[in-house]
Structure 1
Amino acid sequence: MASKIPDSHNFDEQFLTCPVCMLHFRDPRVLPCLHTFCRDCLQEWATKQQPLECPTCRTQVSLPDQGVDGLRTNFYVSNLLDFAAVKKGAGPGVPCQVCEGKGEGARSWCVQCAVLLCESCTSTHRRFPTMKGHQIVTQENLEASEGVPSSFQRKAFCPEHEDQVLTFYCEPCQTLVCVACTVVDHRPGDQHNPVKIGSVAERKKRDLQKLIGNVESREKFARGTLNEVERELSELPTSADAAIEQATIYFDQLMALLQDRKEEVVTEISSRRQEVGKCLDTQKEAMEFELAGLTSASEFCKQALEHGSDVHVIEVEGQAQQRVEELLRSPSDLTARPSQVVFSEGTAVAEFRDDVARAGCVHVKVDASKCLVEIKAAVVKFSNVCLLSIVDQNRQLCSVLKDDVTATLTDPSGQVVPTQLQEKGRGLWEISYTPEVTGNHRLEVNVNGGSVAGSPFEVRVQSRDTPVLTIGRWGLGEGELSFPTDVAVDMDGNIAVVELGNKRVQIFDAKTGQSLRSFPVDGECARGIDMDSNGQFIVTFENRYYGTTGNPAIRVYSQEGKLTKTLKHDCLRDPIGVAVLQDGRMVVADSIRKSCLLLHPDGSLIRDIGKGQLQNPWFIAVDESRDLFFVTDIDAHKVFVFDLEGKLKFGFGEPGEDEGELFWPSGITVDPAGNIIVVNRDNGRLQVFGPDGTYLRTVATVKGGDPEGIALTPDNHIAVACFQYRGHCVELYRYE
């Protein structure tokens, strides 16, 4: 593919000059941000900066273990340098670099050897068997070319077999190899699959083409938004001056009574002008900065497609992919910007005596269409809320008067449901209501007389036995679950689920149910999970489960899912439920020992609790404010309550399937008021008992089937792990 750049002088200046030394590139190296510099320039730059930042875009760079030498060579730029040198050098009077000018002048260029050859040396060169495959570019070809010929590319040789050209790509190893490598180190088989680089390069080219499309659409939008911001910056002085003039006229009418207030408002307008200008300048700089990165990435991908060899495309595609994803993953907000400064009277002159405190308010114009309403799942007979965010044109939260906000909710029959509006913070409002019937309700929200984006909203009110959110279904993929046994809430309020079937922990967004990430757990029969005060995951592995034999242990994983330690004390026989105290101690239910173990953070035993009193302990909850822990006994159909010294305080529960009775109680948790929430594994009844074990109410009957571990989320929902039957999911029920 020939270059489209006809002017070789401009071509040199634009593409062959290092931004640091302002000379032609010497051994050009590519940073992860896709900017290219001389190797020596980067070496010197790295000695002056820690951490290293790109000299062009200021992106922080993590160098490979080999330092600058580990960075990829920009083969495209190297080819351009070769071509520029040859086109300049292969002319009359330029000596041959082999015979050193003893014959006629240089007439051609060997791509592989990178030398100028006279006609005689060219003939000799072609006769050598070892040089039989070398590419010779003649002076006529160079002079006829408007750009870089597609054949003008250095061959890439194998680092292991220096006389062999890289012609294959081993996909399992993600490595370019030569023919010799396919016979020795990369022989086709289970672990190696060398394929011709041409097919791989075509696939990589298509990927690069997609990247260009992604970048170009964002680049176009960024350029348009930048123009809009520049326009608003030019209009800002005019609007601010107009606001000051209006304020002056208004306050002159109020005479001496409002003189002090007038000066305050004028000052505030000027201050706001500076703030808005500064904000717009900052946005302009951020957008120019992002635009530069987008343009650079796009140009890099285009250059690789137009001028890179198959080897070059394969080598740079992954790096380009990473850079583009980085740019698209954290873009600047290209639409949000502050409003122009606007002055409003606030109070008519005739009424100023009553409203003098509010006279001359300086504010930004609120666009109702940019305000947001978060509709939360609703349950009949419960107090429910929706969240309203009032924002200015810069999408920054801002305050308005309560009279400027209205919310009207109607039930399926058209009957108005009373609502209450309460400001919870600057620009944040709660719309609360208690529906009397189930079904789809209609919510209209207005700000400053305008409808909020999306209004009217549909609010689905469900019965108390309907989960407000169901997470996952049976399967092995992302967002799917296989035999979930327990749940916990991490430090960000997300729901962590331990899966016995998939041998992993998967973390879900508690509001949307979207899978955020997962990590594998080491061992069979993963059973219980809890979080420690540092945000680490504590996972128990029981001895057996329905014929599956495991290795009893407790494993600790970091927030990123890395195994940090394994606890295998001799006291562990069949750990199931686990609860972690603030100081790192753990209470573990052991079904074979028929007791609960209080353990040090290192897994060593402090005391054995409940021996001779428990039959088959399962899950555990702790109330550290009272130094108590609660354990469900699935065979005794009871909940036992012990203090941390090991003394049995009381127990509650009668066998049965009616309200207030327990039948195979499994999951258990405690709310902030000390109430105890227990779920029956057999009939799915999710019940609440007072701190003394007195039955209070039934929250719901779990739909998923075979509920096991439960957890209470920060926004008052009970997450229930539904093990199998209709389950393989986590259901969330409203709790109040």
Structure 2
Amino acid sequence: MNTQPIMADSKPLSDTTEEDALSLIDCGICLAEMEKPKALPCLHSFCLKCLKRVAHPPGSFICPLCQEKIPLPPAGVDGFRDNFFINQLKERKAIFTIGKVIMPCACCGTTDQQVAARCMDCNGFLCQQCVHSHKTLAPLKLHTVFTLDELRSGTVDTSKVMKEECCQKHKDQVLRWYCKTCDIPICRDCTVMEHTRPEHDYVTIESAVKGHLEEIKNLVTACEGISRRVNTAITKVDKVRAKLDGQLSEASKRLKDEESKAKEAFLKALQENVKTTTDQLNTIKMERYEKIEDEKTNLQHMKSKLSNALEMANQVMKSGSTHDVASNYSTLCKTLTQLKEIKTAGINHSLSAVKFTPSQMGSVEHVNLGTVSSTGPNPRDKNGKWVLEKEIGKEGQGKIKNGFGVAVDPNTTDIVIADDGDKNIKVSDSDGNYKRVLEGVLHQPHDVAVSSDGFHFITDCTAHVKVFSPDGTYLKQFPAISPDGKSSDTDGSILFGITIDSDGNLLVGSSKNCISKHKQDGTHISTIKTNIRPWFIGMTSQGKIVVCANIANTNAQIMDHMGNLLHSINTPHDAKSLVLRPWRPCGVCCKDDGIIYVSNYEKGGQGGIYSFTEDGEYLGCVTTDVTEAEGIALIDNDTLVVVQHGHPAKIFSYLEN
């Protein structure tokens, strides 16, 4: 058993080598090769004697590797399933280590001669003299014998000629049947004793394994995707930690600079103020570190469970015999089915936000070097600004003709843009490099949302939401439901905006001035009425719904989950209360700290991106360097993607001065 910690940059499970496979034979308790290996429900295996040291009936015990609580069978440790697959891996290791260690002949017991072959019927290694006996003695002539060179070359399929496993209850009977009722391999005697029909349904083990392998393969594929997303989430946690360290360092440096400037005049008061402010930073540091480390520990725990399950499943599929597959099928499928439901919600990027702001010191009596803040960039903060980083979709395969909606994949931070001009969905990485396209069944792609597990939900000015898999395969479609219970595919509705709330449910905007709420499988949950057409929809961190209609002189609206109007987002004004632009709110996105960003669409001219509070209060102008702005989306709270109709998309970044 591999007891080494699993790092975020570990190699993919699909790249597992012979050395990795053989590492499964080491016991995680004694660290030696397992003797009489027993398999736990968590898929970890240990020596029988080692388990007896750590598990004492009755009740349960904690797995030494994954810390999962394991109930003890009524028979104690002996009741756990024997892991025959581990025994076969040990034999494989023996094949490759012969010559380096002394091994007795299974037939004559001598160690004087180096073993030269293996008899699949005797189930042991033979010296050269006994190999000769197998070829000449009548009772042994029919035995199947392979030389070590043949076994090491991998040219022979030993699983087809290995001695069949016998039933643990009926020692002289081979496991040739599979009880579908109990999900275990059984022998002939079992079929007439413990597993009789009609209470039990059993088939030949070969026919059962065909379906088992396909099911395990599908679950492995799904869990490998989860594993990749956990890796991505761990990387994001590390980035937030690194950014926090950098900002903590910068804040501390600025604090020290201010300390030096004021030290001579305000020494006594200064030292006390420095201590208080440093304590604030340290408090934030410890609180944030704890939250970040908790998140990473949880993700590492997920990854450890995924890695172990996938490693075992891949090895069973790659090297296991039919009995291995049958013996491991039930536990593998149960574990993999649970693991494929893992959700990676993503880390709150505001955890990395901390800054020290120097004060304008006044009198000697009231020394105040500055204040510590632990929130992200604020549009009101004059120490920073949004700047244009790049344009994307200008040329080549990823060229955007008429962009509308945009979403950011929460795991990969890929940018996903609905292109009405090409009738497809274009996907690029967060740097704007083209990756792939989703197409084939789309009419006029309008908006897109991406779930935490990578599924794409698209509205295309038809009556249905189109669903694509993470790899871009079209899966299905489903209609929205109006407040009177009518389906959008029967009442002439057209679907526009779409987003995903914090519970993973879809909010779909309809031309019938309503928002239809669905589970990701399309199941309808509820419908709320809106006062305006939901051209685009946003969700705040507090669960409020923001709707923009893309209609001139119509304010955007902030509603609660029941559709009750809370606030209007009115025409933005500058400090002199002068109208900045003709007001036509279009795209909308929301930041973790509650700030709402709205694009102002200006046909044939320059528009703008503006920011507001969750109460609809105007904060400021992000940029006017946009043309016919439609959908907008945020990457990690400090990067803004703006889709322009008929023009390339633009990426803006927030920079502090």
TM-score, length-normalised on structure 1?
0.45
1:17 is displaced (CA, Å) by 2.0
Q: Secondary structure at the match of 1:273?
A: helix
Equivalent residue number for residue 171 of structure 1 = 180
Equivalent residue number for residue 78 of structure 2 = 69
Give the residue type in structure 2 aligned to 1:280: I
- Pick aligned residue for 2:331 from 319, 339, 350: 319
Q: How many positions carry a matched residue from both structures?
A: 417
1:232 is displaced (CA, Å) by 3.6
Judged with a 3 Å threshold, the aligned counterparts in structure 2 of structure 1 residues 378 and 186 are, in CA distance, closer, same or farther, namely closer
CA distance in 1, matches of 2:587, 2:15: 59
1:241 aligns with 2:253: no
CA contact 1:90–1:107 (8 Å) conserved in 2? no
Give the residue type in structure 1 aligned to 2:310: S
CA distance in 1, matches of 2:176, 2:111: 37
1:57 is displaced (CA, Å) by 1.6
Judged with a 3 Å threshold, the aligned counterparts in structure 2 of structure 1 residues 414 and 77 are, in CA distance, closer, same or farther, namely same
Which one is further off, 366-375 or 70-79?
Answer: 366-375
Query: Whose relative contact order is higher, 1 or 2, with alpha carbons under 8 Å and at least 6 apart?
Result: 2
1:288 aligns with 2:433: no
1:19 aligns with 2:28: yes
CA contact 2:179–2:186 (8 Å) conserved in 1? yes
- Pick aligned residue for 1:37 from 46, 67, 80: 46
1:310 aligns with 2:322: yes
1:434 is displaced (CA, Å) by 11
CA distance in 2, matches of 1:314, 1:284: 35
CA contact 2:178–2:208 (8 Å) conserved in 1? yes
Judged with a 3 Å threshold, the aligned counterparts in structure 2 of structure 1 residues 94 and 274 are, in CA distance, closer, same or farther, namely closer
CA contact 2:178–2:185 (8 Å) conserved in 1? yes
CA distance in 2, matches of 1:157, 1:336: 54
Equivalent residue number for residue 481 of structure 1 = none
Deviations 1:111-156 (A, max 9, x none): 344344513542577637xx96x64434453354489843474411
CA contact 2:213–2:317 (8 Å) conserved in 1? yes
CA distance in 2, matches of 1:449, 1:4: 43
Judged with a 3 Å threshold, the aligned counterparts in structure 2 of structure 1 residues 378 and 114 are, in CA distance, closer, same or farther, namely closer
1:215 aligns with 2:226: no
1:445 is displaced (CA, Å) by 8.3
CA contact 1:17–1:25 (8 Å) conserved in 2? yes
CA contact 2:59–2:72 (8 Å) conserved in 1? no
1:408 is displaced (CA, Å) by 8.3
Q: Secondary structure at the match of 2:42?
A: coil
1:42 is displaced (CA, Å) by 0.8
Judged with a 3 Å threshold, the aligned counterparts in structure 2 of structure 1 residues 154 and 340 are, in CA distance, closer, same or farther, namely same
CA contact 1:108–1:138 (8 Å) conserved in 2? yes
1:173 is displaced (CA, Å) by 4.3
1:226 aligns with 2:371: no
Judged with a 3 Å threshold, the aligned counterparts in structure 2 of structure 1 residues 319 and 136 are, in CA distance, closer, same or farther, namely same
CA contact 1:112–1:155 (8 Å) conserved in 2? no
Equivalent positions of 1:260-659 (< 5 A) are 264-329=276-341, 333-343=345-355, 345=357, 360=371, 362-365=373-376, 390=541, 433=566, 450-451=595-596
Larger radius of gyration: 1
Q: Secondary structure at the match of 2:146?
A: strand
1:316 is displaced (CA, Å) by 0.9
CA distance in 2, matches of 1:406, 1:248: 44
Judged with a 3 Å threshold, the aligned counterparts in structure 2 of structure 1 residues 38 and 124 are, in CA distance, closer, same or farther, namely farther
Q: Secondary structure at the match of 1:164?
A: coil
Deviations 1:271-295 (A, max 9, x none): 2123223332333333333222221
1:229 is displaced (CA, Å) by 2.8
CA contact 2:546–2:556 (8 Å) conserved in 1? no
Equivalent residue number for residue 80 of structure 1 = 89
CA distance in 1, matches of 2:258, 2:546: 33
Which blocks of at least 5 consecutive residues in structure 2 are unaligned? 1-13, 380-407, 411-499, 508-525, 532-536, 569-584, 600-609, 612-657
CA contact 1:243–1:343 (8 Å) conserved in 2? yes
CA contact 1:16–1:24 (8 Å) conserved in 2? yes
1:350 is displaced (CA, Å) by 11
Q: Secondary structure at the match of 2:178?
A: strand
Q: Secondary structure at the match of 1:339?
A: helix
Deviations 1:200-225 (A, max 9, x none): 11211112212221222122222233
Q: Secondary structure at the match of 2:371?
A: coil
Equivalent residue number for residue 640 of structure 1 = none
CA distance in 1, matches of 2:103, 2:547: 87
CA distance in 2, matches of 1:248, 1:88: 62
Taking only aligned residues, the RMSD between alpha carbons, in angstroms, comes to 5.6
